């Protein structure tokens, strides 16, 4: 590894950005370099090499129109970015890096030797295109060059000013660079269309440490009120060092989906230091995939619905399968008392099957009890 490349990687590892890398068809040395420099875990969340056609199809969820092209690199980066969102904590800067290349091989390729690199972040998309001089380098040399391009991509995403020496052939090789910037509204539109799985809006200035358990309060928050805040605070007191996190789903199981203007209006309530995640998943078994190793804060009315077989095709077996799947992802529930059908009920009033009893813990009334609701506030307003 070139000493200049090593210095850039050291700077990358010192930055707050965490990344998932998906590399197909080259740039293999970049992964080795990143992992061989100390503090690699500060940068690399995960790395995959989707080399086979089946692997690429599973990564993208479709057959690519062409394996080595600009469009596919962008799609790989998007898949990597969504994976990074799922693997990271709210408030952590993440990126997804996608590489696809056609390099020297046996038998020789008839077309150009080329590569495309993309890096997706919350606010933008970096794009790097390079056509290599055919026959100028052997396979190792081409892999070395494309590995340097991947490191440069990560450095740009992390805001590292030091340049990576590429050693391009003068007059015939040029790295073409472009960047697309996304506004918050464009990010929300991508969420609503299903392109991205969540948007993290961190209200804190400190990056959560790895192993911190998320304590997630899901709701429509129309409006956010003191009862929500006290409920989440009470739940966090039962999960030592838990990270309080509000979650709005653009799609609700029992209500019409939220429009763009609705979400933008509700986001204004979380500009004062609160951590918010906006998702497009209405069901807890899907939320658990987005937030593994998390505690969900719910009312007893939600628990009653979670345990009702009618929501699982009238199958108790299916209900238990879904809940045990949530448990296997390391998730559980803290349950607050609520008025149900005119009477106040707590967790002990609900029959919970033995197989999933350990997933549910009551929030004592001494810690939290509130009949305040967003519906009441809207009606009063």
Average pLDDT score over residue span 234-259 = 87
3-state secondary structure of 143: helix
pLDDT category at 209 given cuts 50, 70, 90 is: low
In the chain, ranges of CATH 3.90.950.20 domains: 3-182
Residue among 128, 115, 131 nearest 157 (CA): 128
In the chain, ranges of CATH 3.40.50.620 domains: 185-380
Query: To 10 degrees, what angle do helices 260-267 and 184-192 make?
Result: 130
Question: Looking at the predicted structure, is the pLDDT value of residue 343 above 80?
Answer: yes
Distance CA 265, CA 260 (A): 9
3-state secondary structure of 175: coil
pLDDT category at 206 given cuts 50, 70, 90 is: low
Dihedral pair phi/psi, residue 33, rounded to 5°: -65, -45
82-131 tens-digit pLDDT: 999 999 888 789 999 999 999 999 888 889 999 999 999 999 999 999 99
Cα-Cα-Cα-Cα dihedral of 198, 202, 207, 209, to 10°? -60
The fold of 3-182 is Maf protein (3.90.950)
Distance CA 120, CA 130 (A): 18
pTM of the model: 0.90
Contact 361, 334 (CB under 8 A): yes
Distance CA 214, CA 334 (A): 12
Contact 300, 346 (CB under 8 A): yes
The percent of residues in the chain predicted with pLDDT above 90, rounded, is 74
Contact 29, 9 (CB under 8 A): no
**What does the DSSP assignment read for 14-72?**
HSSEEEEEEEESS-HHHHHHHHHSS-GGGTEEEEE---SHHHHHHHHTS--S-SSSHHH
Q: Which CATH class is domain 185-380?
A: alpha beta
């Amino acid at each position: 590894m070139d000493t200049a490349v090593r210095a850039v990687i050291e700077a990358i590892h010192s930055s707050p950005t965490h990344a998932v890398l998906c590399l197909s068809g080259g740039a293999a040395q970049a992964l080795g370099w990143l992992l061989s420099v100390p503090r690699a875990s500060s940068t690399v969340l995960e790395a995959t090499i989707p080399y086979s056609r089946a692997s690429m199809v599973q990564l993208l969820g479709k057959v690519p129109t062409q394996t080595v092209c600009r469009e596919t690199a962008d799609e790989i980066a998007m898949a990597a970015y969504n994976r990074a969102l799922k693997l990271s904590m709210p408030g952590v800067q993440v990126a997804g890096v996608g590489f696809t290349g056609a390099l020297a091989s046996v038998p020789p390729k008839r077309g150009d030797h080329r590569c495309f690199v993309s890096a997706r972040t919350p606010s933008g998309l970096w794009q790097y295109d390079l056509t290599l001089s055919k026959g100028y380098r052997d396979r190792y040399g081409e892999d070395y060059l494309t590995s340097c391009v991947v490191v440069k991509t990560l450095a740009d995403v992390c805001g590292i000013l030091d340049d990576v020496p590429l050693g391009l052939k003068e007059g015939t090789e040029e790295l073409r660079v472009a960047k697309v910037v996304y506004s918050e509204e464009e990010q929300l539109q991508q969420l609503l269309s299903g392109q991205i799985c969540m948007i993290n809006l961190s209200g804190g200035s400190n990056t959560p440490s790895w192993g911190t358990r998320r304590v997630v309060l899901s709701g429509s928050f129309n409006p956010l009120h003191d009862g929500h805040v006290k409920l989440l605070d009470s739940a966090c007191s039962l999960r030592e060092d838990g990270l309080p996190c509000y979650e709005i789903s653009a799609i609700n199981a029992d209500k019409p989906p939220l429009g763009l203007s609705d979400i933008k209006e509700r986001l204004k309530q979380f500009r004062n230091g609160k951590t918010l995640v906006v998702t497009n998943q209405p069901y807890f078994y899907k939320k658990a995939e987005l937030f593994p190793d998390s505690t969900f804060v719910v009312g007893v009315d939600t628990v009653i619905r979670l345990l009702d077989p009618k929501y699982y095709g009238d199958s108790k077996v299916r209900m238990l399968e879904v809940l045990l799947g949530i448990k296997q992802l390391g998730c559980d529930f803290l349950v607050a008392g609520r008025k149900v059908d005119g009477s106040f009920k707590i967790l002990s009033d609900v029959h919970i099957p033995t197989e999933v009893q350990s997933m549910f813990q009551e929030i004592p009334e001494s810690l939290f009890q509130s009949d305040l609701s967003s519906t009441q506030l809207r009606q009063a307003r």
